[in-house]
Amino acid sequence: MRNFQRKGVWRNILQSKPILIFLGILILIFAWSVLGFWNKMGENNKSKKIAEDKVAELMKQKEKLNSDINSLKTVEGKEAVFRENFGLVKEGEDMIVIVEDKNKPQVPLEANTWGFFSFFKNWFK
């Protein structure tokens, strides 16, 4: 009987309102921490996706640069770069440079031909 009474004392203590309120607050704090962790995990996944995309882009850029380097190792590749960047030509070739005329003739602008009165004027022509 004494064992039963001892268990009853502990049960009464654990089921008292102050202890239940304390345990409820403890559960709320734990839930808030879990939600914060969950939010950080989502942000980390977004950052991971951005980093993976950047790595893929850098790998493509690396492949392009390697192919450019390999093309510069050949005579044809060097020649193409010199022709493109510096406008060089081979001996015996002629180069034509097209220069845009800076003094273009001015075309006079007609008066507003699409105004309200010009609509009726053009209608009766």
Say whether pLDDT at 109 is over 60: no
**pLDDT: which is higher, 12 or 62:** 62
* pLDDT, average across residues 43-62: 97
* pLDDT, average across residues 31-50: 96
Say whether pLDDT at 43 is over 60: yes
Tell me what pLDDT residue 4 has: 57
* pLDDT, average across residues 49-78: 94
The candidate with the shortest Cα–Cα distance to 93, out of 83, 103, 107, 104, is 83
Give residue 15's identity as a one-letter amino acid code.
Answer: Q
Q: What percent of the chain has pLDDT over 90?
A: 44
63-76: pLDDT as tens digits: 999 999 999 999 88
- Whether the CA torsion 119, 123, 124, 125 is positive or negative: it is positive
- Cα 79 → chain centroid: 37
Say whether pLDDT at 32 is over 80: yes
Distance CA 19, CA 30 (A): 16
